[in-house]
Amino acid sequence: MFIQDTSETVSEALIELTGSNDVRLFIGLIEMMHDGILLVDRDEKIIFANQRMCEITGFEKEELIGEIAASKLVAKEVREKIIDQKLNDRISGISETYDIRIQRKDETPAWLRVSGSPVYDISGNIVGSIGVHADITDEKKKELALQEALEQEKQLSQSKSDFVAIASHQFRTPLAIIQSNVELMSMKLEKQLPDQCQNFNSYVDRVKDEIKNMSDLMDEILMIDKLNSGKFQSKIESVDVVEVGKKIKEKFDVLSSERGIDLEVHGSPKNLLIDRRLLNQSLMNLVSNAYKYSSADNPKIILTYQEAALMVEVCDTGIGIPLNEQKFLFDPFFRGSNVEGMNGTGLGLSIVKNFMDQMGGEISICSEPNKGTNVTLSIPINH
């Protein structure tokens, strides 16, 4: 038997296929569906429920038929928020899909995804509605567990940030007191025991160096925490990167009469719209590493202005980075196995990576043990 493909609805297709419009055909199909079916009149009174709906809710058909659907299955606060509006939608001829929480016969909760549509009589009047109910309880449990885990993670992150801020503040006060008292001791010793002053000053300088290292560590921890938590407020302004490079060079040139920093500029310099603090911090971190982990040649800052980006290279001929450790370079607090005994926090490159992510730029590192390291930043000029 040839069947013409002209049916627009399932019911029309079934009638054409079977040659009968016996409603029992449709009931048989509905009973076999994997989803629950409820048919209700205009007053939301249940006039039909399939077996799957009984399995989902725990009620027998006799316990559902004749009952008000919402009152039987849905808690009062949910009815007031959702069901009344959905009933009005059905009466208005609106079909839609929504999620709702119900209560089974044993009073355990379940989540259903309801696809509801109005039902019309032969005159075109809306006489009720039909709903297909998919059990999504397991899906919702996973979703709610994920939301709870995310909220706990958020609270943990906030607690960590609060601790970092408080700890940093608490550390700074005693450090400042230690430094001021050491300086007072040095001044008194210079007046009272000038012969011993020179030896004592070496100890004072060491204490001052350690105080500075501790202060730098606190600054970097605060910075990385703000960057990672999204609390850092960027201040975008027009910045002359060449001038920033010159000032960094001056800071390192005065450290030693034998070593300094070489600065090269290629292309046509132009100002960048960028956060000056992050730029300066990033370049200082890179140059400090290059200076600290090399001892022969001067580290170089190379600025190359291209049409769309500024390429910033910081190069040295120092100890380099072991190849198998380079994948960890941007992890906070990571330090190479070949820097033992050298001061450092392991936060510098992590800060630079965060900075580049904020600016839409890229960072790449080329390094070989005992031959040196080349760090390249690509910063968009039109960011």
Longest dimension (CA), the chain: 120
Residue whose pair of structure tokens reads 């965060």 in the numeric block? 354
Residue whose pair of structure tokens reads 């032969």 in the numeric block? 122
Residue 261 and residue 315: Cα distance in Å, rounded? 10
Q: What is the Cβ-side half-sphere exposure of residue 17, based on CA atoms within 13 angstroms?
A: 10
Q: What is the DSSP string of 215-263?
A: HHHHHHHHHHHHHHHT-----EEEE-HHHHHHHHHHHHHTT-SS---EE
Position 22 scores a pLDDT of 64
Whether the full predicted model's pTM is greater than 0.75, yes or no, is: no
Position 17 scores a pLDDT of 58
For the chain, domain boundaries: 33-135, 151-229, 236-380
Report mean pLDDT in 10-residue bins for the chain, 383 residues: 48 61 64 81 86 91 86 72 67 80 89 87 83 90 87 72 64 77 79 71 76 72 68 80 93 85 93 87 88 87 93 92 86 77 74 82 90 92 68
In CATH terms, 236-380 corresponds, of 3.30.565.10, 3.40.190.10, 3.40.50.20, 3.40.50.1970, to 3.30.565.10
How do residues 166-217 score in pLDDT, each as one tens digit? 666 667 777 778 878 887 877 877 777 777 666 777 777 778 777 777 777 7
Position 4 scores a pLDDT of 45
Which amino acid is located at 208 in the chain?
Answer: K
Position 79 scores a pLDDT of 64
Find out whether 204 and 183 touch, Cβ atoms under 8 Å: yes
Tell the CATH topology of 33-135. Answer: Beta-Lactamase (3.30.450)
Please name the residues in contact with 319: beta carbons below 8 A apart, sequence gap of 6 or more.
Answer: 293, 294, 338, 339, 369, 370
Please name the residues in contact with 196: beta carbons below 8 A apart, sequence gap of 6 or more.
Answer: 189
